[in-house]
Chain A
Amino acid sequence: MKVYVCLKQVPDTESKIKVAADGKSIDSTGIKWILCPYDEFAVEESIRFKEKNPGATICAVSAGPDRVVDALRTALAMGCDEAIHIALPENADSYLTAKSLARAITKSGTPHLIFTGKQAIDDDAAQVHQAMAEFLSLPAVTVVLKAEYSATSVKLDREIEGGAIEKYEVATPCVIAAQKGMNEPRYASLPNIMKAKKKEIKKVTLAELDLTDTDTKVSYSAMQLPAERGACKMISGDVAAQAKELVRLLHEEAKVI
């Protein structure tokens, strides 16, 4: 029984983002790359599934430039069994990413479950989970807070507006996209980190998937940093005076109340 977990390597949330010289990508100098936090929940969920279903093999898959191998090593150290690195250029869109993941998974073996995060915190597109599922003709449930697994189906809780929950029961195979809170991801132990270094990461080229770099649909023609705000108006006085002045400003100057 094969379980896949699709993951992305992204800049750490504390990273400062700068626009590169080409004006349409980010400057990666000084960026600390991490396994996307939402994908961490997906990795953890796949390992927990395997702990209850020892026959399962967990394959971590990531599409991106060579650096993503580090994110795959993290997943292996957490407990994934094998890994596939799809060589994809920087800034590939959701369409090509999803298509390459779907084809790599099809080549590697029929999935029982595919886990991933609800979105990657770099481009924030939140498209690959459902797009990949569509390429694979599989059902998918996203923003999942809870999953209960039985032999041929999964009961899922999906978070929607206002913290309300949609309840699903979906037959396997299916795609499950994790929301923060689905579980508490484990830290990899030192022995497991050492073992993960020796595990093979299978590299797949786009050509082997019958795809090319240009099979994208959407790209970015320019990137810019948000406009800086004007200086903050500090309100002085004792608390009562501050409160009074703040509310006056919100009402009379900013006109938001």
Chain B
Amino acid sequence: MKTVIYCEHHNGKIKKSSLELLSNAATWGTEVHALALGAPGTLDGLAAELNEYGPHAIHFAEHAGLAHYSSDGFAKVVADAAKSLGAEILLASVSTQTKDFLPRVAVKLDTGMASDCTALTVAGSNVQATRPMYSGKCFASVDFSKAKPVMATIRPNALGMKAKKAGSATATKLATDPGTIRAGVKEVVAKAGAQNKVDLTEAERIVSGGRSLKSSENFKILEDLATTISATVGASRAAVDAGFRPHSDQVGQTGKVVSPSLYMAFGISGAIQHLAGMRSSKLIVAVNTDQNAPIFQKADYGVVADLFEAAPKINEEFKKLLQH
């Protein structure tokens, strides 16, 4: 099965989640083709990084019209590449970019796509995928029998990074035409203070707070703790609705669905809609004054305590541990 993997890159580096996908594809015994898009002359430096994960071929689609992201331009180029390469499977890791343009690719290829998969295996011509629904309240096995090519996006951290596998593919340039770009990005504006922070959806560690934090200023104690352990700060819907945090920090069914290695919930009672967004975290810690809070039913470690006392103490202990 010829598998084409769309590899997203920013600032001259392939996204970790794209490499994670390549590292898994290398174990499937299929023919793996890595595909990257960009302006002419900007992609050559990516080949070495891609070759660490052993793709059979690397394809660069270069065009001046691809210097900035556009859903219509990227969709056309990826669909054209999938056709010309004869892709039987087309995969990408989930990001705000792939979520945006891949549905158009599916229509152009007259196929269906399973988005946000948390499990994916390819064995011979058999593709098995599982995707969460209702924000992870249930999981569905996908039937691709009518989808040719098979298309799926996979969540970061879901498959796990596999061992590197040295490859020596020479990057080939594809004939590329993004067509008329109607919805192209004019400018990207970073959120103040958000530089270098890993997004919640890709974070390895998350420290989240609920309405019990009482104010946006009080989130400082969670930010301090997050800094110590290189975590990203999240919040419950109650805290977001109360105006303590922006919606982009919300974890839950109407916010972000996250799957970090460590999720620490401070003063979050555990409404169904919050649990749905974080239950696939590998390890969950809950700190709450109410020992009957539903969050403790989903947690691995529970601490019944006032978060205002506990968070600084836990931070101190982390600092002690990490100094050694």
Contact = CB atoms under 8 A, between A and B. Distances in A.
A76 to B, nearest CB: 23
Interface string B182-208: 111111111100100111011001000
Given A232-B296, A239-B310, A246-B303, A17 B134 contact: yes
A245 B291 CA distance: 18
A180 B143 CA distance: 31
Interface stretch (A47-55, A77-85, A247-255): A247-255
Nearest to A99: B107
A218 B100 contact: no
Given A130-B104, A225-B139, 13 more contacts: A15-B272, A17-B137, A158-B100, A166-B185, A167-B187, A180-B247, A218-B112, A218-B147, A232-B298, A243-B310, A250-B301, A254-B300, A256-B282
Nearest to B104: A134
B253 A13 contact: yes
A247 B306 contact: no
B216 interface: no
Interface in A117-162: 121-131, 133-135, 139-143, 158-162
Contacts of B120: none
Interface in B248-293: 248-250, 253-255, 257, 261-262, 271-273, 276, 279-280, 282-286, 291
A135 B103 CA distance: 11
A172 to B, nearest CB: 11
A207 interface: no
Contacts of B272: 13-16
Contact of A239 (B71, B141, B313): B313
Given A16-B272, A230-B300, A134 B108 contact: yes
Interface stretch (A90-98, A108-116, A196-204): A90-98
B23 interface: no
A68 to B, nearest CB: 17
Interface of A: 11, 13-17, 19, 24, 26, 37-38, 93-95, 98, 121-131, 133-135, 139-143, 158-171, 174, 179-181, 216-226, 229-230, 232-235, 239-240, 242-244, 246-247, 249-251, 254, 256-257
Contacts of B248: 159, 162-163
A171 B99 CA distance: 22
Contacts of A249: 301
The B interface is mostly helix, strand or loop, or mixed, namely mixed
B142 A220 contact: yes
Given A159-B248, A163-B194, A216-B112, A180 B254 contact: yes
The A interface is mostly helix, strand or loop, or mixed, namely mixed
A183 to B, nearest CB: 12
A98 B107 contact: yes
A141 B107 CA distance: 17
18 contacts: A14-B273, A16-B137, A24-B140, A121-B254, A126-B116, A134-B75, A161-B96, A161-B201, A162-B194, A163-B248, A168-B184, A217-B113, A218-B147, A223-B133, A225-B137, A254-B301, A256-B283, A257-B318
A135 B107 CA distance: 7
Contact of A226 (B115, B139, B297, B322): B139
B317 to A, nearest CB: 4
Contact of A95 (B106, B246, B250, B305): B106
A240 B313 contact: yes
A161 B143 contact: no
A235 B248 CA distance: 32
Contacts of B95: 161
